[in-house]
Amino acid sequence: MKVVFAATTEQEEQIEALVDKMFHHVLPHYFSEKELQAFGDMNILKPTEKCMETLGDAYSVLASLQTLMHLLEDAGLKKEHCELFKRNTEILNRFDISFPFSFHHFLPEQTKEPINIDQAYLQ
């Protein structure tokens, strides 16, 4: 028999705080207010019950959010960050947390393609 511990209330609060920080302090550097509103309406980065099923699940989501935030806030994306970005995006998506952006959405302006909100959501 395997014993599995559920995520704690503190973990749920930390995940919600990281999502809030991502929406209010990180993503505004890359997207317009109109785009951010649309992302909220589409439940982008909305935590799900699936990510809160076990302690391990919640830790995976917390680590992925923190890593993505670090890459987007502090590091300034470089091509060598692509795999790390992709791996952490896949972890969020595995837990049904929608993060439909690709690496190129966060590159410096001269290399970035315009975002189509509907298309980004479908990726």
Structure token pair of residue 102: 């690709």
Over residues 21-48, the pLDDT tens digits come to: 999 999 998 899 999 999 989 998 988 7
* Cα–Cα separations (whole angstroms), residue 54 to 5, 18, 20, 64, 69: 5, 18, 22, 16, 23
Between CA 45 and CA 18 the distance in angstroms is 10
**Positions of the chain with pLDDT under 70:** 1-6, 50-51, 74-76, 109-123
Amino acid at 17: A
Q: Would you call 78 exposed, middle or buried from its count of C-beta atoms within 10 A (0-12, 13-18, 19+)?
A: exposed
Between CA 59 and CA 37 the distance in angstroms is 28
Closest to 14 in 3D by CA, of 64, 74, 89, 75: 64
pTM of the model: 0.79
